Structure 1
Amino acid sequence: MKQKLRITISGTLILFLLKLPFLSNAQERPNILWINCDDLGREISCYGNTDVHTPHMDQLASEGVMFLNAYANAPVCSSSRSSQITGMYPTAINSLNHRTIEKQPLPEGIVPIMEIFQQQGYFCTNDWAHNMNKEGKQDYNFLGDNFFDGTDWKQRAEGQPFFAQVQIHEPHRVFKKDHERPINPDHVQLPDCYPDHPIIRKDWSMYLESVQIADKRVGEIIERLEKENLLENTIIILFGDHGRPHLRDKQWLYEGGLAIPLIVRYPKKFEPKTKRKDLISLVDVTASTLALAGIEVPAYMHGKEVLLGETRMYMYGFKQRCGDAVDDIRSITDGRYKLIWNRMPDRPYMQLSSYKKLQYPAFTVYNVMYEEGVLKAPFDQMMREVRPAFELFDLQNDPNELVNLTEDKKYNHVKNRLKKKLVSTLAEVEKNMQEESSEAIQKAIEGSQEYYKKAMQKRQLSENATDKQILEYWENTLLESN
């Protein structure tokens, strides 16, 4: 009798264990790996840039799917990361102002994607590519802690599937040199939205070298997966958290600020060497990641299952305060045309951003060139004291977004269509948005200015240094090694 009872208990225990998500079908459930590169635009060889050497990202693309029209929803890290981790537009979760001072919990019922994976038995990790024992960048604009179970998937239980985020700092500023494969600034192809200036050339070449450093990190990650026999059962999704870190790009809703690479490798599902032109955003990556893992996508998410074939007609961009630069901009694109709504048109394009003034040589180059009367059209548009309320661009014929079509009657129907859709969408995704208090704004401004002051002291420059003095610093720092 005792033996029979013992067998019954053992059978019950086995059945219980088999119901645990990570033990019931461990070999079948895929691992998920997000490779999140800080400030990575589409300057990768497989996306057509011939000045940069990115063999590992290119290899990923050749073994999977490369999305040609992928976008972030916000052009700065904290807003974009808050959006991607929830599958929600940043306005809907009060996470749009960069490094929000008055952080709040997420709205009731909304949780980070890690919590959803954890409920399904996944082990969730976050680390740096260069040090997987160190907690990686989060930068979320909402309250919460203990978002992850660990820093490395090796910490999980045997057979337990993982959802891992590996953060790659590059190509975020300060740029890193690639000593193995330096890039000659005299030979690079500058984007047409920038004037041809030696400092801008050097800065661009250093950005590309940092992209190459990021590519080496990707290679190290893939090599580890291969060694651990995890590669074929791991869905790899590589992307930039927003666009490239340059003057008219990061912190703006132009293509340079929102356009990102997106590469997905999972041979069990996707054919190699596939290129897709679908519109897809990072909130769609969030929803699609859940769907690929066989997990139901919460109805509240703004993301769509684009990776699995669902279509998206419009992409949206959101920008508000970034450091001490207070702003309010929204955008919409259908892939061909983009409408930008400047809701603070009285703000100049070159309003003070302590971060950009400190880190972006082009910020100073533009000011000096303008003062000397040598900053010509179309580059001098950035020096305007006020902005138009709306900017409309034909992305097919004007990919650098230099010709505003809003006053051209021929495009009235395009403008009106996009504006109507943008207004109706914002009415929904901004209905619970809370305005940032004047106290919080002032605190952010003071913090940015203090950051600028201390950094200038390290450079042995006064916080009140003139543009020409700052330009001399950049000439000595960048061009002496050219």
Structure 2
Amino acid sequence: MPVLSRFALLMLFCLSLVLVGGNSNELRAESRPNVLFIAVDDLRPELGCYGASHIQSPHIDQLAASGLLFNRAYCQQAVCSPSRTSLMTGLRPDSTKVYDLDTHFRKTVPDVVTLTQQFMKHGYKSIGMGKIYHGSLNDKASWDAYPTVRGRGYQLPETLAGIRERTKGLDVKKMNWRQRSKLTRGPATEMADVPDKQYRDGAIAEQAIKSLRELKQNQQPFFLAVGFLKPHLPFVAPQKYWDLYDRRQIKLAENRFPPENAPKFALTNWGELRNYSDMPAKGDLTDEQQLQLRHGYYACVSFTDANIGKVLDELQRLELDENTIVILWGDHGWKLGEHNGWCKHTNFENDTRVPLIIRAPGMQAQGKTSEALVEFVDIYPTLCDLAGLPLPAHLEGTSFKPLLSNPQRPWKPAAFSQYPRGRVMGYSMKTDRYRYTEWQDRKSGKVVDRELYDHRQDGAENDNIAGQPDQKRVVKQLSAQLKKNWKGAVVPD
């Protein structure tokens, strides 16, 4: 081959690397897949595709049938803002320093490149809507656009009249979110015979469809984030979704009691549920109140499922589905009476285990289920990996792209979550067999209490065996593993 030709080829190769950002693994813009990023608030993995035959979730089930379902996926902290912040930054809560609903990560890690920012840096158009970050803690730098979505929460005239009466003469807009939230809450449930779009989630679905149509006209690859609010409280949905369920067939939680020997730090006092107008300020719920809440939760799951179906149908109608990564996740689990608790805010399996489903162009594991232990911090590197983008150095998770080819391959030995309780922090580790939690003094690091649940014997986590003499060796081993692997366990080759 002539020297000039070799030189020319070398120059062309170098130029191609420059054009794709200097990373030989990075795909050219015209061949990059789009991303449809679906977030669901308070959705626990109680869906048809997760084996819950009593739940009607046909559209999510259909997505799982064409993608990969993760049966053991975990959030980093079981409450909205810390969980979502962790996922969107690729950092664990101890790195973001976001443990509550008030702290914005731009105050603690101001220069961090978020998931959508990384895609924007490499030629993607980033659109968000609904709830991606928590409430008022959205991040303008993460989006090219974030359209406002209409639609209300409550619909019934009597509910709206009660809220107007409570807020009469008050400037609600000047209140902080806690004051505003408490004053504007009505009952914990509502069913109204109205079109889907009158409730906010129905309007979010309509906006997502509109955005897809606009993005179809653009040659630029897109990252469309759609955040649905239900089944977060209040459990409000059109009546037709309530009618899908027969109250007489709904069962209450089997373990309506705290775990044996559980430390006080492990439990929570129901979170926000008591703030609703028809919920008791203290004490237990009646069986009928529990059934009403379960019925409302199920109705909202089916409502959100229908809205997700509308968006996925439009993606297919526009012939965008074959070149779009679709990922669906719930920001944390939720208790429906288990351990005599409601809402989230704990390190228990009910709160930390989350639904996670992904479908990617060309993936081999369609319709499969993976038992691999994965975490929300893994989503950022996985989506970059699938789109051929470079991984920022700050990431604390591991791309699970290899599982899309071989979902049963060896994977991480543990997943990690945490939850603060005043002066202590609970660090929790889920292994193949155990859930082990250490409650550590936040200043000294001293372990003040422990929890150990053997999932082979006690999948519902009803008996804390950390203090039993015959478990000393197991506790010692798990404590060492927690300390060693807290920032991320190693994936076998």
- TM-score, normalising length: structure 2: 0.67
Q: What does residue range 348-387 of structure 1 map to in structure 2 within 5 Å?
A: none
Q: Quick check: 78-87 or 199-208, which moved more?
A: 199-208
CA shift for structure 1 position 179: 2.2
Q: Which residue of 2 aligns with 1:219?
A: 309
- 1:59 aligns to what? 62
What's the counterpart of residue 180 of structure 1? 240
Partner of residue 142, structure 2 = 147
Q: Does 1:262 align with 2:356?
A: yes
Name the structure 2 match of 1:412.
Answer: 472
Q: How far apart, in 2, do the equivalents of 1:25 and 1:154 lie? A: 23
Aligned partners of 1:51, 1:97: CA distance in 2, in Å?
34
Secondary structure of 1:104's counterpart equals helix
Identify if the C-alpha distance between structure 1 residues 28 and 98 changes in structure 2 by more than 3 Å, giving closer, same or farther: same
* Alignment partner of 1:329 is 2:329: no
Tell me the alpha carbon deviations over residues 45-104 of structure 1, each in whole angstroms, 9 at most, x when there is no partner.
Answer: 110112110000000011111111011111000000100001110111211233227961
Which residue, 372, 381, 397 being the options, matches 2:457?
A: 397
How far apart, CA to CA, are the structure 2 residues paired with 1:20 and 1:314? Answer: 35
Secondary structure at the counterpart of residue 317 of structure 1: strand
Contact 1:31 1:233 (C-alpha < 8 Å) held by counterparts: yes
How much has 1:327 moved relative to structure 2?
A: 5.9
Q: State the alpha-carbon separation in 2 of the partners of residues 166 and 62 from structure 1.
A: 21
1:89 corresponds in structure 2 to 92
The DSSP-based 3-state class of the residue aligned with 2:107 is: coil
In 1, the alpha carbon distance for the partners of 2:92 and 2:302 equals 31
Structure 1 residue runs without a partner (length 5+) = 1-14, 129-135, 346-386, 430-482
CA distance in 1, matches of 2:28, 2:105: 43
The residue aligned with 2:419 is 319
Deviation at 1:201, TM superposition (A): 2.2
Change (3 A) 1:54 1:194: same
Distance 2:452 2:306 in 1: 38
- Select the structure with the greater relative contact order (CA < 8 A; seq sep ≥ 6): 2
Alignment of 1:302-317 (within 5 A): 302-309=396-403, 311-317=411-417
For 1:223-238, what aligned pairs fall within 5 Å after superposition? 223-238=313-328
CA contact (8 A) 1:77 1:242 kept: yes
Aligned counterparts of 2:300 and 2:218: Cα–Cα separation in 1: 36
Structure 2: state its 5+ residue gaps. 1-14, 22-26, 147-210, 258-285, 404-409, 489-493
Quote the offset at 1:245 in angstroms: 5.3
1:267-306 mapped onto 2 (5 Å cutoff)? 267-306=361-400
Query: Equivalent residue for 1:203?
Result: 293
8 Å contact from structure 2 (residues 133, 139) kept in 1: no
1:113 to 103, 112, 115: 115
* Matching of residue 45 in structure 1 with residue 32 in structure 2: no
Q: 1:423: Cα distance to partner?
A: 3.0
- Provide, for residues 162-200 of structure 1, a one-character-per-residue CA deviation record: whole Å limited to 9, x for no partner: 112110111100002452242233312333232692221
Equivalent position SS for 2:304: helix
Q: Distance in 1 between matches of 2:430 and 2:95?
A: 19
Higher deviation after alignment, 272-281 or 404-413: 404-413
SS in 2 for 1:167: strand
**Aligned-residue identity in percent:** 26
In the alignment, is residue 77 of structure 1 matched against residue 80 of structure 2? yes
Offset at residue 341 of structure 1 (A): 2.0
Q: Whole-Å Cα distance in 2 between the matches of residues 121 and 197 of structure 1?
A: 54
8 Å CA contact 2:69–2:369 kept in 1: the answer is: yes
Once residues 229 and 143 of structure 1 are traced to their aligned partners in structure 2, the CA distance between those partners, rounded to angstroms, is: 31
Q: How many positions carry a matched residue from both structures?
A: 360
CA-CA distance at 1:406 after TM superposition: 0.8
Per-residue CA distance 1:197-223 (angstroms, 9 max, x = gap): 222122112111111111011101101
TM-score scaled by length of structure 1: 0.68
Tell me: CA distance 1:200–1:140, structure 2 relative to 1, closer, same or farther (3 Å).
Answer: closer
